[in-house]
Amino acid sequence: MSPTRRALRLQLTLGLVFVAVCGVGVATGAWGSEGHRPAAAVAHGMGSADVVGAGSGGSAAADRWAADYTPEEFAAYTQALDGHYIGVGLWVVGSPQGQVRVSRTLPKGPAGRADVRAGDRLLEVGGVPVTGMPVTEVVALLRGGAAGRVGSSVTLLLQRGTEVRALTLRRAVLDEGDVRVDHPESGVTRISMDAFTVGVSEQVQAAVHQAQLNPAKDGRGILLDLRGNSGGLVSEAVATASAFLDGGRVALYQPEGGGAREVLTAARGGDTATPLVVLVDGGTMSAAELVTGALRDRGRAVVVGRPTFGKGAVQQPQTLSDGMVQEHTVGNYLTPSGISPDGQGIQPDVVVPPAASAQAAENTALTVLDDLSGGSGQ
């Protein structure tokens, strides 16, 4: 075990690791992906709106999540739910100081082919300075709204070290799986998810099954990395939670204006034995918070990281007579214990300091996983 990991272990007693989860905290969003600003889709009688920012402008002042979209914008956002989107293939993260940096690129996307790398600082998008701008707005600039069609261009001003360069990239239709599986350390399966688009739950279930087949290789446990996950389809979120549960509640849905609550239930037969840690941050939103809350409240996982974004509202789209599409809130989801994350987020069991790096957060999560599994780590 490294000295850093050893020091972390001393700080994380078993009493802290196994403490019952309750309480919520104020969330600050920090991550963004140009590919995942999905529009609503109905699942289990409810929408899954995870719209980060508005389309052509907000609507219904009393509804802070309402948004209006042109037909072109809505079609693009709906396309994102199928794992396709128009963009340049990069992800951005904001710092407490307001800097915006590239956190990841799609290797075969326009940005990756132009040698844009993780760690590059993004200074401008289309001539607009982005320092201090919320990452959701940066994402909107990268996507280009209704003007962001295939082949349309966008100029980025980037800084790497002391070098500043301008790149003009052409947007393309991109397709990347929202689930990545790797092994950051011996015996650990890490499942990273960017969004809950069509088919992601099957990929998660396959990864969990594979880990079960290789106890010698994956016996320390599973790290479910939901940092920067912008949410998505409720049906996919419920099916993902089902991979780690054996029936029972995943969430409650409360319609606007009262009415009977609907119980969203996990499928039977999920893996309830493998040690599990969920890693979150301020960019963990909506459907991702639904999964986090379910696994936390059910005592299935220890949640590590920073408070989540705080979106429990559910939206549904409605096409207007002029062709515009309006999304409005139709209800709220609650965690199995009846807590709403809306406006407050989910407070992790083990909180990572705001100034800690992404790697430090991961180290903390791996240390907690060691404690759960009784392993010695590296």
Q: How far apart are CA 189 and CA 121, in angstroms?
A: 30
Res. 177 pLDDT band, cuts 50 70 90: low
Res. 87 pLDDT band, cuts 50 70 90: confident
pTM of the model: 0.70
Q: How far apart are CA 289 and CA 306, in angstroms?
A: 12
**Quick one: fold of 86-176?**
Pdz3 Domain (2.30.42)
Whether residue 50 is predicted with pLDDT greater than 50 in this model: the reply is no
Of the candidates 217, 222, 227, 233, the one whose C-alpha atom is nearest the C-alpha of residue 271 is 222
Domain boundaries, the chain: 86-176, 177-373
**247, HSE (Cβ side, Cα atoms, 13 Å):** 1
Of the candidates 100, 135, 185, the one whose C-alpha atom is nearest the C-alpha of residue 359 is 185
340-366 residue pLDDT tens: 998 899 999 999 998 888 889 999 999
Q: What is the pLDDT of residue 277?
A: 97
Asked if 86-176 and 177-373 have one fold, the answer is no
Of the candidates 220, 226, 268, 264, the one whose C-alpha atom is nearest the C-alpha of residue 244 is 268
223-232 residue pLDDT tens: 999 998 878 8
Q: What is the pLDDT of residue 63?
A: 78
Q: Other C-beta atoms within 10 Å of 373: how many?
A: 18
Whether residue 258 is predicted with pLDDT greater than 70 in this model: the reply is yes
Q: How far apart are CA 147 and CA 75, in angstroms?
A: 13
Residue with tokens 């993260």: 93
May I ask the CATH class of domain 177-373? alpha beta
